[in-house]
Amino acid sequence: MPWDESSEDENLWSDAATAGTVLSLLHREPLSPQRNTRRPLFDSTASERQRSRCVLCFQVMDRLSYPSPPLAANCNHSSIPGVRMCRVCLQRCLDIQFTSNGTEPLSCPLCRARLSHDEIRQWANPQTFQAYDNMKTREALEDDGEFITCVRPGCGNGQLHGGGRESPIVVCRSCGTRMCFVHRGAPWHEGFSCEEYDRLFVYTGSDINHYGPINWTTEDLRSQRTIWQIAKPCPRCNAITEREGGCKYMRCALCWQEWCWDCGRFWQAGHLEINCSLYRT
């Protein structure tokens, strides 16, 4: 088909130019310049701008729509022709990786090569990178023994507490919640020292993690302290035994085990005269 210089059909022009090039090569004739104001098909700039198809969305796009390979320093697919992913699909893949994999490192969607922090900054959308950067910063801070996270649901603020165990009350700088530095995950036990709080849960057999970090109110703790003062579990069967006065000798009404109210140990001959600990150890 003769080449029509005035034709506006780009595909027709491309086919004619390609045919002319092949014929020139077969006849070993030098290629003559194209009589067209358009950029020649095979010059270096045009080849760089050739369009290719994204392996994920299958859209055919200009090279500027694709990231410059490789995505990661150790990617092993950049030399495979036709294996390309556009910038939009790449960002979506990194978004999905971050939201579904939690703290797992982000990687190239095509070959799973791990991306560095700078590579994630380069290829991920700004919101995803900011969230990823915050997560990594928090992970680094949590390795510090002075770091504590707010126990109030929905807050999530974290901060460094320089007072340590000697000054255990921590006030969240974001929401003002008071919490205990010693008992991580628990609010501040108002009216109780950390030692009393420990004994409370030892004697009741409770687990603060079982009840959740914020469920214990001051009233709950005071009620539990009252129970602790008048009743304790049998050291053998854990049945709650109330004390109505008298000496430290106790006998469980369920299993008949004899034990000491003050120290919680099994009763032995001569124990009445022993100055045992006020609390079980």
Residue-wise pLDDT tens for the chain (281 aa)?
444 444 444 444 344 444 444 444 444 443 334 454 454 444 444 444 578 888 888 889 888 888 876 788 888 776 666 678 889 999 999 999 998 887 788 988 888 888 999 999 999 999 999 999 988 888 887 778 888 888 888 887 888 888 888 889 999 998 888 889 988 777 888 777 888 777 666 544 444 443 344 455 666 666 666 666 677 778 877 777 777 777 888 888 777 888 888 888 888 888 888 877 544 44
User: Cα–Cα distance between 197 and 193 in angstroms, integer?
Assistant: 6
Q: Which helix (H) or strand (E) holds 211?
A: helix 208-211
Q: Which two tokens stand for residue 78?
A: 């950049």
Tokens 């009763």 identify what position? 267
Q: Which residues in 106-254 belong to E strands, given as ranges?
A: 147-149, 158-160, 169-171, 178-180, 231-233, 240-242, 249-251
Nearest to residue 151, comparing CAs of 182, 190, 192, 187?
A: 187
Specify the pLDDT at position 14. 44
**Neighbour tally for 87: CB within 10 Å:** 15
Q: What is the pLDDT of residue 54?
A: 87
Q: Is 171 helix (H, G, I), strand (E, B) or coil?
A: strand
pLDDT at 92: 92
Give the DSSP letter string of 98-145.
HHHHTTSPPB-TTT-PBPPHHHHHHHS-HHHHHHHHHHHHHHHHHTST
Burial of 120 (0-12, 13-18, 19+ CB in 10 A): buried
**Residues 127-147 as b or e (16 or more Cβ within 10 Å = b):** ebbeebeeeeeeeeeeeeeee
Q: Is the pTM of this model over 0.95?
A: no
Distance CA 71, CA 193 (A): 55
pLDDT of residue 124: 92
